[in-house]
Amino acid sequence: MDLKFRPSFFFFFFLIFIFLLQQPDLGSASTPKCISSERQALLTFKQSLTDPSGRLSSWSGPDCCKWRGVGCDQRTSHVTKIDLRNPNQTLRHNGEFEKGSLGGKIHPSLTRLKLLSYLDLSSNDFNFTEIPEFLGHIVSLRYLNLSYSSFSGEVPASLGNLSKLKTLDLYAQTFSDDIFTLNLRASNLGWLSSLAPSLTYLNMGFVSLSGAGETWLNDFSRLSKLKELHLFNCELRSLPLSLPSSANLKLLEVLDLSRNYHYSPIPNWLFDLTSLRKLFLQSVRLQGSISPGFKNLQLLETLVLSSNELSGEIPAVLGDLPQLKYLDLSENSFQGQIHRFLDAFSKNKGNSLLSLRLNFDRLEGTLPESLGALRNLEILELTGNSFTGSIPSSVGNMASLKKLDISYNSMNGKIPESLGKLEELLDLNLMANKWEGVLRKSHFLSLRSLKSFSLTTEPNRSLVFKVPSTWVPPFRLEQISIQNCQIGPLFPMWLQVQDKLNCITLRNTAIADKIPHSWFSRIASDVTELYLENNRIKGTLPQNLVFPNLLAFDLSSNNFQGPFPRWKTNAAELFLYQNNFSGSLPPDIDVLMPRMKRINLFRNSFTGEIPSSLCQLTGLEILNLRNNHFSGSFPNCWLGSSELNEIDASENNISGEIPESLSVLPRLSFLLLNQNALEGNIPDTFQNCSGLTHIHLGENKLTGKLPSWLSKLSSLTMLRLESNSFDGQIPDDLCTTPSLHILDLSENKLSGPVPKCIGNLTAIVQHKSVDEYYVYQEIRDSINLSGNNIHGEIPTEIFDLTYLRILNLSRSSMAGSIPGNISKLGHLETLDLSSNKLSGAIPQSLVAISSLHTLDLSYNKLEGRIPKNLKFKDPSIYIGNELLCGKPLSKKC
Ligand SMILES: *[C@@H]1O[C@H](CO)[C@@H](O)[C@H](O)[C@H]1NC(C)=O
Ligand SMILES: *[C@@H]1O[C@H](CO)[C@@H](O)[C@H](O)[C@H]1NC(C)=O
Ligand SMILES: *[C@@H]1O[C@H](CO)[C@@H](O)[C@H](O)[C@H]1NC(C)=O
Ligand SMILES: *[C@@H]1O[C@H](CO)[C@@H](O)[C@H](O)[C@H]1NC(C)=O
Ligand SMILES: *[C@@H]1O[C@H](CO)[C@@H](O)[C@H](O)[C@H]1NC(C)=O
Ligand SMILES: *[C@@H]1O[C@H](CO)[C@@H](O)[C@H](O)[C@H]1NC(C)=O
Ligand SMILES: *[C@@H]1O[C@H](CO)[C@@H](O)[C@H](O)[C@H]1NC(C)=O
Ligand SMILES: *[C@@H]1O[C@H](CO)[C@@H](O)[C@H](O)[C@H]1NC(C)=O
Ligand SMILES: *[C@@H]1O[C@H](CO)[C@@H](O)[C@H](O)[C@H]1NC(C)=O
């Protein structure tokens, strides 16, 4: 063995030894090793939590400082930070929030972490357990966030032990269905004062302070280091008008007292909080006006006073605040003009205002030119006031404007061309005003950013688009709503090129052109609402398009023609009425439009049979096929249409019998099948339809006796069976139909007398309907039995029908005299007794019915003098009565 002395080798090791001596922490400096008792404490803490999505899965290795959400001190290796905030709190709508939530119990082992300064358990779900008292023993805490975590009960007073705490967030909004109950409460706020040395941020939003008494403000006002105080929706019932002398809130920068119920003026102590940058006093029922005290708040950036009861003019003092960025005075009773206030802003040249909201106040007058000085303003909302006049042309100087909303005012002037300079404008809402004048290309010159454009005026105003027919605008809109403005007669290029539209309303715009099929194809994938009614649009609709997002479409009152649009859509509304569509309805309409609720095809030229697939639309509520050329029998398959309440297939050529399956519709209210070719009788099964309010089967070929069960239809308001071939007598049962106001049995083959019980139609006696809900228009109570073979005398009981307006018993075989007590019909307007066999004199009492304006007594056997004061001058209403005399007849008595 060759053992040689090798000094260089030893020297090398010596150097390494020295090196190591000088670097005692090598390795541990970058990765602190966790203290094993704290590791054990964390594991115990983990074990009592529930963790469905495995967020704590990294909590197993030896070094707890490497676990997710755990932080350790670099030197001492003590755990200083636990951050278990649910990262998915913004995803609560799609269920990810629930999945990511920790729950279960918070174990007291946390108190063993002696240097823990940061604890964030927010946005989890502790299932309405109490905040553990022992959190107050972790006196090292500087940051504690328990917000959005579904705690309930009393906030433990032990939190007062946390004298180093800088940040305390207890914001208690939960995402349960019950948004009105506050689960967390703090009835005694005494513990707060111990936090005064350090606390800078306190959020107790959604914590009920209703038990904290009138002195709640005293408790908060001792927190002299506080910069932010958030008490949103805390059930505070009073807002003290003064602060106690001990109060010390000089450092407060953010104060939120919104959504509490105070009823008070704006308290003056607010104006001593000279550090305030943000002040939120929304929905606190503040009353009175805005006081000049605001001039003290020179640092104010955000002022929200919306949804209060403040009144008076908006004062100039707000315009003088040099830092103001966001101002919201919406939903108050501010009145008068805004000139003084805006002039103040405009003098304040360096003004920083970004957002001004003055919606739903009572402001009036014109908009001042000084608006133009608000060069940084991005949002201007003035909806729901009474502003008049034109938009000032200075609007073109508001180069930062992104949103301009002047909707629902009384603006009756012009829209200036300078508007077209607003390159940043995204949303322009000029709905519901009284605009006049002409809109040209220049009005839109640089509106490159515009996404949403709404403009309506009154129908009788003249607001006209005059742009070149080939004009291609700089914008690509997503939403357009134009009403009562003249865009037509052409469907202009500037609309044709829009291919990003999803909400489209072009109502009463005088477009009298064809719309290219390619336009419909282009918008099909995005469009959610398509309203084109009240134009004169002609041409056909493209077939076989798919509208995956469409909710409703209304193409009514145009000149469309051609076949029904075979569009695949989940829309619930289809209005094609008052056009000239033709051809038959698609037999697979249930497949094309399975979610349809309201179909209105009134007044078109549709032909063919009504497809029985309509019965498969289980959500169908309203079916209006009136005034087309449908033929064949009406479908008889309605067993599954539980929502259908209105059927109008009148004025067609429908034959066959009345389908019995209609009588199973539990909600059926309107059954209008008049002016068709229906045969047979009224099926007895209809006696179960107690919800029917309107039956109109007139002008068909129905036969048989009148049903004897009509009184079971307790809501029936209107029964019209005229111009059919019903025979037999009028059944007594009819008299006890409790809601009947309108009865028309004219032009049938009825015989027998007018039933004496007719006076028991209580709805006409009292002018009341059993179910007022169904009386959708003023009812003119009427009875028409004309054109039958009814004989016997006029029963005097009929004069008990106090509110009867129209009585027609003409063209029958009535005999006897006209009873004198006819004047009991004090609301009668029309009386027709012509072409009967009535005899005797015309009763003098007829003169007493002052409402009577139409009378016909011709062709009877009446005799004697026509009552002198009867106001009717037309002799023809008396002719055919040989023995009548006196004016207006030429025959003298
Ligand atoms: C948060 O949401 C994302 C996206 O939905 C999901 O991938 C992730 O697993 C969720 N995280 C937790 C902790 O639930
Ligand atoms: C507390 O956590 C929530 C999220 O859960 C967060 O929005 C909020 O800003 C946090 N509070 C503070 C004062 O950091
Ligand atoms: C929440 O607490 C209720 C009782 O208050 C209990 O019935 C329910 O099972 C708990 N839910 C969970 C997820 O622990
Ligand atoms: C913490 O506060 C509670 C109640 O305020 C008190 O009884 C307790 O002695 C305090 N504990 C410590 C460690 O300060
Ligand atoms: C326009 O019609 C409205 C009612 O719709 C009416 O109040 C107004 O006076 C009319 N204006 C003009 C200019 O005719
Ligand atoms: C309706 O369309 C038909 C062709 O289908 C046409 O003959 C008729 O003139 C149109 N009627 C109206 C009023 O436009
Ligand atoms: C009504 O339909 C019948 C067949 O059911 C047909 O003969 C008749 O011509 C149609 N009438 C009209 C006006 O369309
Ligand atoms: C009315 O309905 C009841 C049960 O809802 C049923 O038993 C009866 O047969 C029906 N009457 C008629 C005439 O359809
Ligand atoms: C009509 O009403 C009267 C009382 O007003 C009553 O005596 C009579 O029985 C009723 N007639 C019928 C048929 O119900």
Q: What is the per-residue pLDDT across 387-421, written as a single tens digit (0 to 9) for each?
A: 999 999 999 999 999 999 999 999 999 999 999 99
List the one residue out of 889, 816, 828 whose CA is nearest residue 858: 889
Window from 239-248, 322-331, 361-370, 792-801 with minimum mean pLDDT: 239-248
- For 251, 272, 738, the CA distances from 200, given in Å and listed in that order, are 9, 18, 72
Under 8 Å CB-to-CB from 103, ≥6 apart: which residues? 49, 50, 124, 125, 126, 127
In this structure, the residue with its CA closest to atom 7 of ligand 8 is: 688
830-832 vs 806-808, strand pairing mode: parallel
Q: What is the per-residue pLDDT across 597-620, written as a single tens digit (0 to 9) for each?
A: 999 999 999 999 999 999 999 999
Tell which atom from ligand 7 comes closest to the C-alpha of 655: 5
Label residue 363 by pLDDT band (50, 70, 90). very high
CB of 8 shorter than 6 A to ligand 5? no
18 pLDDT higher than 50: no
Label residue 213 by pLDDT band (50, 70, 90). confident
Number of C-beta neighbours around residue 541 at 10 A: 21
User: Torsion angle, CA of 294/297/302/306, rounded to 10 degrees?
Assistant: -20
Tell which atom from ligand 1 comes closest to the C-alpha of 100: 14
Q: Is 741 within 8 Å of 776 (Cβ atoms)? A: no
Label residue 10 by pLDDT band (50, 70, 90). very low
Phi-psi region of 206 (alpha: psi -120 to 50; beta: other; left: phi over 0): left
Kindly give the distance from the C-alpha atom of residue 562 to the centroid of ligand 7, in angstroms, as a whole number.
21
Q: Which ligand is nearest to the CA of 161?
A: 4
What span, in angstroms and rounded, lies between the C-alpha atoms of 674 and 709? 21
Under 8 Å CB-to-CB from 459, ≥6 apart: which residues? 484, 508
In this structure, the residue with its CA closest to atom 14 of ligand 1 is: 100
In this structure, the residue with its CA closest to atom 7 of ligand 4 is: 158
What span, in angstroms and rounded, lies between the C-alpha atoms of 168 and 146? 8
User: Could you give the count of Cα atoms lying within 13 Å of 806 in the half-sphere of its Cβ?
Assistant: 14
CB of 245 shorter than 6 A to ligand 5? no
Q: Which ligand is nearest to the CA of 202?
A: 2
In this structure, the residue with its CA closest to atom 8 of ligand 3 is: 127
CB of 582 shorter than 6 A to ligand 6? yes
| pLDDT of the residue at 14 | 44
Tell which atom from ligand 2 comes closest to the C-alpha of 167: 13
CB of 268 shorter than 6 A to ligand 6? no
CB of 655 shorter than 6 A to ligand 9? no
Tell which atom from ligand 9 comes closest to the C-alpha of 800: 5
Q: Out of 631, 655, 701, give the residue to mutate to test ligand 7, the one with the largest number of ligand atoms within 8 Å of its CB.
A: 631
Q: Which ligand is nearest to the CA of 163?
A: 4
Residues in contact with ligand 2 by the CB-under-6-Å rule are 85, 89, 122-123, 145, 147-148, 167, 169, 201
Which of 379-395 are b and which e, b meaning 16 or more Cβ less than 10 Å from the residue's Cβ? bbbbbbbebbebbbebb
Q: Is 863 within 8 Å of 842 (Cβ atoms)? A: no
Domain limits of the chain?
32-125
Tell which atom from ligand 7 comes closest to the C-alpha of 631: 2
669 pLDDT higher than 80: yes
What span, in angstroms and rounded, lies between the C-alpha atoms of 838 and 755? 18
Tell which atom from ligand 5 comes closest to the C-alpha of 460: 1
Label residue 768 by pLDDT band (50, 70, 90). low
Place of tokens 């309201």: 598
Q: Is 812 within 8 Å of 755 (Cβ atoms)? A: no
Label residue 778 by pLDDT band (50, 70, 90). low
Q: Out of 82, 83, 85, give the residue to mutate to test ligand 2, the one with the largest number of ligand atoms within 8 Å of its CB.
A: 85
What's phi and psi for 696, nearest 5 deg?
Answer: -130, 105
CB of 275 shorter than 6 A to ligand 6? no
| pLDDT of the residue at 17 | 43
Window from 213-222, 449-458, 522-531 with minimum mean pLDDT: 213-222
Q: Out of 169, 204, 229, give the residue to mutate to test ligand 2, the one with the largest number of ligand atoms within 8 Å of its CB.
A: 169
Q: Longest Cα pair distance anywhere in the chain, in angstroms?
A: 169
What span, in angstroms and rounded, lies between the C-alpha atoms of 707 and 716? 14
| Percent of residues, the chain, with pLDDT higher than 70 | 93
Kindly give the distance from the C-alpha atom of residue 629 to the centroid of ligand 3, in angstroms, as a whole number.
62
Q: Is 185 within 8 Å of 148 (Cβ atoms)? A: no
Kindly give the distance from the C-alpha atom of residue 139 to the centroid of ligand 4, in angstroms, as a whole number.
10
In this structure, the residue with its CA closest to atom 3 of ligand 9 is: 760
In this structure, the residue with its CA closest to atom 7 of ligand 1 is: 96
Q: Which ligand is nearest to the CA of 463?
A: 5
In this structure, the residue with its CA closest to atom 6 of ligand 9 is: 760
What's phi and psi for 98, nearest 5 deg?
Answer: -60, -45
CB of 76 shorter than 6 A to ligand 6? no
CA 501, chain centre distance (Å): 22
Q: Which ligand is nearest to the CA of 561?
A: 6
What span, in angstroms and rounded, lies between the C-alpha atoms of 118 and 142? 6
765, containing H or E segment:
helix 762-766
Kindly give the distance from the C-alpha atom of residue 761 to the centroid of ligand 9, in angstroms, as a whole number.
10
CA 187, chain centre distance (Å): 38
Q: Is 146 within 8 Å of 111 (Cβ atoms)? A: no
Q: What is the per-residue pLDDT across 429-486, written as a single tens digit (0 to 9) for each?
A: 999 999 999 999 999 999 999 999 999 999 988 999 999 989 999 999 999 999 999 9
Sign of the dihedral through C-alpha 752, 756, 757, 763: positive
Tell which atom from ligand 8 comes closest to the C-alpha of 688: 1
- Give me the mean pLDDT over the 678-690 stretch: 93
CB of 540 shorter than 6 A to ligand 6? no
| pLDDT of the residue at 177 | 61
464 DSSP 8-state letter: E
Q: What is the pTM of this model?
A: 0.83
Kindly give the distance from the C-alpha atom of residue 508 to the centroid of ligand 5, in angstroms, as a whole number.
16
Kindly give the distance from the C-alpha atom of residue 527 to the centroid of ligand 7, in angstroms, as a whole number.
40
Give the DSSP letter string of 322-378. TT--EEE--SSEEEE-SHHHHHHHHHSTT----EEE-TTSEEEEPPPGGGGG-TT--
| pLDDT of the residue at 93 | 56
What span, in angstroms and rounded, lies between the C-alpha atoms of 718 and 784? 12
Q: Is 744 within 8 Å of 720 (Cβ atoms)? A: yes
208, containing H or E segment:
strand 207-208
Q: Is 251 within 8 Å of 226 (Cβ atoms)? A: yes
What span, in angstroms and rounded, lies between the C-alpha atoms of 578 and 671? 21
CB of 458 shorter than 6 A to ligand 5? yes
Kindly give the distance from the C-alpha atom of residue 674 to the centroid of ligand 7, in angstroms, as a whole number.
15
Q: How do the residues of the chain divide into helix, strand and coil, expressed in percent and rounded to 5?
A: 20, 25, 55
Q: Is 708 within 8 Å of 730 (Cβ atoms)? A: no
- As a CATH number, domain 32-125 is 3.80.10.10
23 pLDDT higher than 80: no
What span, in angstroms and rounded, lies between the C-alpha atoms of 364 and 374? 20
Label residue 9 by pLDDT band (50, 70, 90). very low
Q: What is the per-residue pLDDT across 279-293, written as a single tens digit (0 to 9) for each?
A: 999 999 999 999 999
Kindly give the distance from the C-alpha atom of residue 162 to the centroid of ligand 4, in angstroms, as a whole number.
9
What span, in angstroms and rounded, lies between the C-alpha atoms of 854 and 407? 49
Q: Is 238 within 8 Å of 212 (Cβ atoms)? A: no
